[in-house]
Amino acid sequence: MARDAIILGAGVAGLSTAAFLQREGWKVTLLDPLGPAGGASFGNAGLLSPQTVIPAALPGMWRKVPRWLTDPLGPLTIRAAHLPRLSPWLARWLAETRLARVEANAAALHALHAPALEVWRELLGEADYRAMIRQAGQVQLWEGGGPSPLEDALRARHGIRAELLGLDELQQLFPGLSRAVTRGLLVPGNGHVVSPARVVRALADQVLAEGGAILPQQALKLIPREGGGWRVLANTAVHEASSVVVAGGAWSAELLAPLGLRLPLESERGYHAHLPAPSIELRLPILHKSRGFGLTPMEDGLRAAGTVEFAGLRAPPDERRAEQLAAHAKHLFPELTHGTPRLWFGQRPSFPDSLPVVGPVPGRPGLFLCFGHGHFGMTGGPASGRMLASAMAGRPTSLLDALAPARFTGSARV
């Protein structure tokens, strides 16, 4: 059977999978109605976090939720109309706060994230890597409080170096920083990209240069062929290949449901306010843990990105949440001035355990999944694509067990 694949989604996960499959000798066609870097791969915070192992579900985290929900523009909001559909996902999320699950999820995140910078270098080549990726680290900030003992223990267990920063050190690192910030944590092994859109489009250019096709089409239905392989019914064409990779982000579960595969995928809707011509220059990206957003230096300004909104795939965006991110940046640096903010809204595909699904679908030969990276798409997407391409070429790795779709379809959990 021919080694060809249709990849649904031209974001960072789909393009990485395509690039690595091409290196294995496969012919690839990508379908995406938005084109390369048209969704979360365009609007994310640009953070590369190989030294990040902390899942979102932690013991006691649920106690903070009522306080967050009292502020409609705070770090977390749930639209009432979506709550009935969200409830099963929340129940699974609560189950993941058990210590045994947290430790297992952190180990899987470490295995997936650790090679992130190496994989980006392998994908881009040395010249593009140096042009678009920075490895100076990231700084987490708090207004009161600080990292929890459990987070410290997880970092120590996985050999992650982190340095506590006091007020004086923070002021030296970030002149003009608000005095409301009292604690910081430097993670020197992390980094960022200067433009998520440019780096993902560079992947697209590589795929095209190697003979791949990227078509602006919407996949509507996956149809298994008699005798093997798949047919993809799209809005303007029908495509056939021996294999299909679903890498469609938050929309992926809707494509899979007609095949009887139901996964607990939810959209953690996020926003950004891109601030052109800022009056300050950040040396490092900032993650403001108390307010749930990041501030990243990029080639065309500062990007304030983050927060979580649960409202489903089709509810209209609330532009006030993006505008609030610009206000958060001003709170963090009171003297900050900038041009008119550019606002953005997008869908983060997330599973309750903070891990993506990567690998083959049992009982569906030739069907593979690569989505659900949540807040870590730029970090985990390329490594997932490399791992999946290797498995499709007959060289699976043990990490696929932790990321397998079967973990949500009947497998026993710890």
Position 81 scores a pLDDT of: 96
Position 144 scores a pLDDT of: 85
**Residue 380 to residue 113: CA distance in whole angstroms:** 6
**Residue 376 to residue 48: CA distance in whole angstroms:** 8
- Write the pLDDT tens digit of every residue in 341-389: 999 999 999 999 999 999 999 999 999 999 999 999 999 999 999 999 9
User: What is the mean pLDDT of the segment spanning 138-154?
Assistant: 94
User: What is the mean pLDDT of the segment spanning 189-194?
Assistant: 98
User: What is the mean pLDDT of the segment spanning 5-17?
Assistant: 98
CA atoms within 13 A on the CB side of 265: 27
Task: Report the first-to-last Cα separation within the chain, whole angstroms.
Answer: 39
**Residue 213 to residue 32: CA distance in whole angstroms:** 11
> Would the pLDDT of 414 be above 60?
no
Position 266 scores a pLDDT of: 98
Position 62 scores a pLDDT of: 80
User: What is the mean pLDDT of the segment spanning 313-325?
Assistant: 97
CATH superfamily of 4-62+97-408: FAD/NAD(P)-binding domain (3.50.50.60)
Position 70 scores a pLDDT of: 82
3-state secondary structure 292-304: CEEEEEECCEEEE
Minimum mean pLDDT range among 5-9, 179-183, 195-199, 201-205: 179-183
Give the distance between the most distant pair of CA atoms in the chain: 68
> Would the pLDDT of 280 be above 70?
yes
> Would the pLDDT of 283 be above 90?
yes
141 membership: H or E segment, kind and range: strand 138-142
pLDDT classification of 94: cutoffs 50, 70, 90: very high
Please give the model's pTM, rounded to 2 decimal places. Answer: 0.96
In the chain, where are the structural domains located? 4-62+97-408
Contacts 24+ apart (CB under 8 A), 238-241: 239/6, 239/29, 239/31, 240/6, 241/2, 241/4, 241/5, 241/6, 241/29
Mean of the per-residue pLDDT values of the chain = 95
Position 110 scores a pLDDT of: 98
> For residues 290 and 307, is the Cβ–Cβ distance under 8 A?
no
> Would the pLDDT of 410 be above 60?
no
User: What is the mean pLDDT of the segment spanning 305-319?
Assistant: 96
Position 412 scores a pLDDT of: 35
> For residues 30 and 212, is the Cβ–Cβ distance under 8 A?
yes
Q: Got the DSSP string for 20-67?
A: HHHHTT-EEEEE-TT-TT-SHHHHS--EE-TT----S--TTGGGGHHH
Position 345 scores a pLDDT of: 97
pLDDT classification of 2: cutoffs 50, 70, 90: low
Percent of the chain with pLDDT over 90: 92
- Write the pLDDT tens digit of every residue in 232-272: 999 999 999 999 999 999 999 999 999 999 999 999 999 99
| Axis crossing angle, helix 377-392 with helix 116-124, rounded to the nearest 10 | 70
> For residues 288 and 251, is the Cβ–Cβ distance under 8 A?
no
